[in-house]
Chains A and B, each alone.
Chain A
């Protein structure tokens, strides 16, 4: 016990006295640990950013996309589609799901009335597709019960309405003959320049407004069905966020379930579980490569300075041997100096990495914000620390052997 404590005390004393040497030797190690930890954290952030960008397009991993196509010209839309959708959610305990129906509605603008693309969705789409409005908010479940329709629109829609923000709590007129007033509650960023106006509306609310038969789509209220011979019948697609490990089985089961209520229709289920591991692995290896190289350089610097220092300290080692320091103790002491130093450097490196990661300009660096910021990579910090200690031990080994091989008498006279 006293031997170990004594060796640590001795090692710490050496480091304290040779501050400059320690500082110079350890800058490399600290940089290496910062590189290992920081690059790993940045890679995590990059991956998360990439993942979130992908999920904004195709939903969270894994999102099942259920589509149906009519197999004949006379096929009628399945009547139990929406009811089966609710049953599927309940049966398979799916928390987040959304129907998605692309259609058009007549919208009044200051310069006139024109048909505008409308996407009828459920509120869960906001979670599934990580939708973050640039103004206002996305839909909530409470919106479904609202008397008047609520809309989330894109920036082009808002601009076409002659508005720049939602501070005036704007409303828009939907429909032509008997218009409905809808409140705009949120604005989404345009995906590209010169985007066309698009409005999102809640699926159930939309169908209440246009009527069960869709007759109010053009007029803004229920009315007699006017079939459009140019438009084939369609059913809404469905997005279902399911656990990755169950996605394949659930996909098959849901396909069977939905197919059962849609005779004459072809139901297809696809998932977005693309293999993105390649990017993960590549970036991980880049991180490890950078860190290992930095650690190698740091370690070489450490060995170099440690060797010079041991030669400089040979007399002192001899004097300590005269006090009763065994060769094992001298070996352990010199090595421990290196290890203690690298542990301190490792800690500095980790702190530095934390400081850098916490101050990364995420928006500027990754093009968009990260919704679910990955946690600081503790494992990478631990790996960095362990690597630093290993480098310290290796760097200490050579000078420790030199220190032990010195003859005590010669050392005292050195």
Chain B
């Protein structure tokens, strides 16, 4: 049984002119514990929507989403929210640190919604997590006094402090330079593998995606498995591919314009 399993998931929203906008179409994806999966795609292709659905921030219009074999559609809003806090850690492109709070308070913030030992030991746990991401000496520093890389490390510490089973990283290096981005990804990979958490990274940086064990491309709401290496680069709207690991699936999906040439 996979940790996360999406089957034929669609997501559509109604526009003001009453037309339906299909953001995701027939997305099928499974993620196992400890796996690192990357999803690449240009802006507006539905990457964030997919991540929101995975992280229980949004719900599919159709299709099935199983979380450890349990259909999330059967969970109440409250249970979904609690599982989101307990099982998922979010890392955002813009870090989304809480303003006016120190690094320590930011990392401890998710523990305010935990119970028992985690709640009562939140300051100690947050300090330990900051130590772990190399910011043990910046616990009392405000976010605006930290560099971009340090802010993202605080965000990573905050995402991991409750010991999530899945880390959902939305463009985690998008606001960082290449070198700092590489360091942040090293840290994410390291901690995810240490804690056994699955890591789902959404990015349009192919070098970042190439770090994952499995890669997918999202184009106009359609998810396609691909293979990348560190030499991959974007050609038009699609990345150059090392190999198509699921040609059968690919063929079943609508063929975006120009893609066939690249695949060939």
Contacts and interface: CB of A to CB of B under 8 A. Distances in A.
Interface in B89-124: 90, 92, 96, 98-101, 105, 109-110, 112-116, 119-120
Interface in A294-353: 315-316, 319-329
A193 interface: no
A282 interface: no
A316 B95 CA distance: 12
A148 B99 CA distance: 85
Interface centre among A9, A322, A326, A328 (most CB of B within 10 A): A322
A10 B112 contact: yes
Given A6-B119, A328-B78, A412-B92, A323 B101 contact: no
A402 B78 CA distance: 18
Contacts of A195: none
Q: Say whether chain A's binding surface is mostly helix, strand, loop, or mixed.
A: helix
B110 A324 contact: yes
A408 to B, nearest CB: 5
Interface in A398-414: 408-409, 412
B57 interface: yes
Interface string B37-71: 00000000000000010010110000000000000
Given A9-B112, A13-B105, A325 B85 contact: yes
Given A13-B101, A409-B58, A321 B81 contact: yes
B84 interface: yes
A408 B57 contact: yes
B81 A324 contact: yes
Contacts, number: 65
A365 interface: no
Given A320-B109, A408-B57, A412-B96, A325 B81 contact: yes
Nearest to A316: B98
A324 B58 contact: no
A334 B98 CA distance: 16
Interface string A360-375: 0000000000000000
A326 B101 contact: no
Contact of B81 (A315, A319, A326): A326
A17 interface: yes
A263 to B, nearest CB: 88
Given A2-B115, A2-B119, A17-B101, A323 B85 contact: yes
Nearest to A5: B119
B82 A326 contact: yes
B86 interface: yes
Interface in B154-182: 162
A322 B88 CA distance: 9
A319 B92 CA distance: 10
B77 interface: yes
A325 B58 CA distance: 15
Interface centre among B57, B77, B81, B119 (most CB of A within 10 A): B81
Contacts of A412: 57, 92, 96
B84 to A, nearest CB: 5
Contacts of B85: 323-325
Contacts of B115: 2
A319 B98 contact: yes
Contacts of A322: 55, 57, 84, 88, 90
A2 B116 contact: yes
Interface string A2-23: 1001100110010001100000
A316 B99 contact: yes
Contacts of B99: 17, 316
A326 B78 CA distance: 6
A320 B52 CA distance: 15
A17 B52 CA distance: 29
A2 B110 CA distance: 13
A6 B85 CA distance: 14
A69 B2 CA distance: 110
Contacts of A17: 99-101
A324 B113 contact: yes
A408 B53 CA distance: 12
A329 B84 CA distance: 14
B82 to A, nearest CB: 6
A253 B140 CA distance: 81
Contacts of B114: 2, 324
Contacts of B101: 13, 17
Contact of B57 (A5, A325, A409): A409
B51 to A, nearest CB: 10
A324 B88 CA distance: 9
Contacts of B162: 324
Nearest to B114: A2
A2 to B, nearest CB: 4
Contacts of B92: 412
B86 A324 contact: yes
Contacts of B90: 322
A251 to B, nearest CB: 69
Contacts of B88: 322
Contacts of A321: 57, 81
Contacts of B57: 321-322, 408-409, 412
Contact of A6 (B82, B98, B100, B112): B112
Contacts of A326: 77-78, 81-82
A327 B86 contact: no
Nearest to B49: A409
A315 B96 contact: yes
Interface centre among B83, B98, B115, B119 (most CB of A within 10 A): B98
**What 3 A-B pairs have minimum CB-CB distances, sorted nearest first?**
A324-B85, A17-B100, A323-B110
Interface of B: 52, 55, 57-58, 77-78, 81-86, 88, 90, 92, 96, 98-101, 105, 109-110, 112-116, 119-120, 162
Given A2-B115, A324-B162, 12 more contacts: A2-B120, A6-B112, A13-B105, A17-B99, A17-B101, A18-B100, A316-B98, A324-B114, A326-B81, A326-B82, A328-B78, A408-B57
7 contacts: A18-B100, A320-B113, A322-B84, A324-B162, A326-B78, A326-B81, A412-B92
